[in-house]
Amino acid sequence: MGAARRPPAARSAPTIYDVARESGVAASTVSRAFSRPGRVNAETAKRIRAAADRLGYRTNPLARALPTGKTAMIALVLSDVTNPVYFQIIRGAETAAAAAGYTLLLADTQESSLVEREAIERAIPAVEGLVLSSSRMSDSAIRMAAKQRPVVVVNRVFSDVPCVVTDNVRGMRRVVEHLAELGHDTITYLAGPEASWADGMRWRSIREACVDLELRVRRLGPYRPTIGGGLAATADLLAAPSTAVVAYNDLLAIGLMRGLDRAGVRLPQDMSVVGFDNVFGSDFCTPALTTVAAPLRDLGTAAVQQLLGQLRGGTPRTGKPTVLPVRLLVRDSTAQRSRDSSPA
């Protein structure tokens, strides 16, 4: 038998009025004692604070939010919580938010632009701003949201909405350089979701790098950005092999490696595979995946900090996106191109 019968919200917490009575001042004074330090006499403030402690008073964020609009909450909107790229992004965002006294409201849109739109609509009145990560919504829908609340977009670029992105260009360039050094002359890119801005960017980047370094590239896909997607890509790849494969992201790469392994392809001797993101698991799959380490945690932190900056009255910092640096992690899934393997 739990707590005895009681109204759902338990006995109500003490209010400024209780504190006011306890300390012998008016409620407004109590309010000011908390929200506006210098405004009340130091002595009085101390007395009030003591009374508040005695009563266990905590200011009610909802009540405060009504007149001021400051809810101390920001929404983090994700395309899929079960995707490991988000672990670190969430962690980074959470840490930054908590440090500033803000609380995160989480919305998982399950890769659906419809669900995403509804989640945003529901969240907007309760939050001061939003971080949209890997949004699947249209540009105009995002701009619409940005008109109602400050917004920072992660992993997607806008000229008129602040955004924080991974340095896809340099990342892909490093990948191509690495593969070129290993003697590969043709690269196959496994594409991710069409609605993904990052996919377009990564494809463009790899193509340009290949032009510069005089390698050939081709593109297979799109595939779902999951292990299942990688498994599904295996057949396509085997139908037209290549000595070097770069996947849109690690999940796709890991799935592909599993598929190739089942098909008897030896990695990395027969084929080199590269991922992107350096998600949890990319180091302990077999072979350990060579990948581009995206600054996931920093992405979350930077996005929230930029949002908080706006909330404090800063200008939105639009125009150029904030680009965060990447690092190529060479592990065991890439190797010198063997003489006997034939390009496509």
Partner DNA sequence: GCCGCCGCGGCAATCGGTTGCCAAACGTTG
Partner DNA sequence: CAACGTTTGGCAACCGATTGCCGCGGCGGC
Closest to DNA by CB, 71 or 305: 71
Residue number, 25 or 265, with CB nearest to DNA: 25
46 CB-side CA count, 13 A:
2
List the single partner that 73 binds among DNA, a copy of itself, none, CB under 5 to 8 Å by kind.
a copy of itself
Specify which residues 275 forms β-bridges with.
Answer: 291
Phi, psi for residue 228 in degrees, rounded to 5: -60, -40
Residue number, 53 or 160, with CB nearest to DNA: 53
Q: What is the DSSP letter of 37?
A: G
Range in contact with DNA (rule: CB under 7 A) among 42-50, 76-84, 128-136, 196-204: 42-50
What is the C-alpha to C-alpha distance for residues 152 and 164, in angstroms, rounded to an integer? 7
Q: Which residues contact 219 (CB under 8 A, 6 or more apart)?
A: 188, 189, 191, 203
For 77, the token pair is 């909107």
CB of 10 to DNA, least distance (A): 11
- Residue 77, CA atoms < 13 Å, CB-side half-sphere: 30
Q: CB under 8 A: which stretch of 32-40, 79-87, 207-215, 234-242 binds a copy of itself? A: 79-87
Using rule CB under 7 A, residue 16 touches DNA: yes
Written as six digits, the tokens of 162 are 């602040």
Minimum separation from the CB atom of position 170 to DNA (A): 45
- By CB under 7 A, is residue 148 in contact with DNA? no
Q: How far apart are CA 271 and CA 281, in angstroms?
A: 20
C-beta of residue 53 within 8 angstroms of C-beta of residue 23: no
Question: What's the rounded Cα separation, in Å, for the pair 182 and 176?
Answer: 10
Question: Which residue among 42, 43, 82, 140 contacts a copy of itself (CB under 8 A)?
Answer: 82
Question: CA triplet 135, 139, 140: central angle to 5 degrees?
Answer: 125
> Residue 186 carries which side chain, given as an amino acid letter?
T
Q: Are strands 327-329 and 73-78 parallel, antiparallel or unpaired?
A: unpaired
24/228 with CB nearer a copy of itself = 228
The residue assigned the tokens 């990395």 is 268
Report the amino acid identity of residue 247.
A
- Judged by CB under 7 A, does residue 312 bind DNA? no
Q: Under the criterion CB under 8 A, does residue 10 sit at the interface with a copy of itself?
A: yes
Q: Under the criterion CB under 7 A, does residue 21 sit at the interface with DNA?
A: no
User: Per CB under 8 A, which of residues 267..306 are in contact with a copy of itself?
Assistant: 280-281, 284-286
Instruction: State which of residues 21, 34, 113, 158 lies at the interface with DNA (CB under 7 A).
Output: 34
Q: Which is nearer to DNA, 68 or 342 (CB)?
A: 68
| Burial class of residue 153 in the structure, from the number of CB atoms within 10 Å of its CB (0-12 exposed, 13-18 middle, 19+ buried) | buried
Query: DSSP string covering 127-177, please?
Result: -SEEEEES--S-HHHHHHHHHHS-EEEESS--SSS-EEEE-HHHHHHHHHH
Q: Is 71 in the site for DNA (CB under 7 A)?
A: no
Size of the site for a copy of itself (CB under 8 A): 66
- Residue closer to DNA (CB basis): 32 or 136: 32
Taking the least distance from each CB to a copy of itself, the nearer of 74 and 187 is 74
The answer to the question of residue 103 lying near a copy of itself (CB under 8 A) is: yes
Between residues 31 and 291, which has the closer beta carbon with respect to DNA? 31
Question: Is residue 213 close enough to count as binding a copy of itself by CB under 8 A?
Answer: no
Three-state secondary structure call for residue 95:
helix
Q: Which residues bind to a copy of itself, rule: CB under 8 A? A: 1-3, 7-10, 13, 58, 60-63, 65-66, 69, 71, 73, 76, 81-82, 84, 87-88, 90-91, 94-95, 98, 101, 103-108, 119, 121-123, 125-126, 128, 146-150, 160-162, 227, 254, 258, 280-281, 284-286, 310-311, 313, 315-316, 318-319
Q: Which residues bind to DNA, rule: CB under 7 A? A: 12-13, 15-17, 24-29, 31-32, 34-36, 38-44, 57, 59-60, 63-64, 66-68
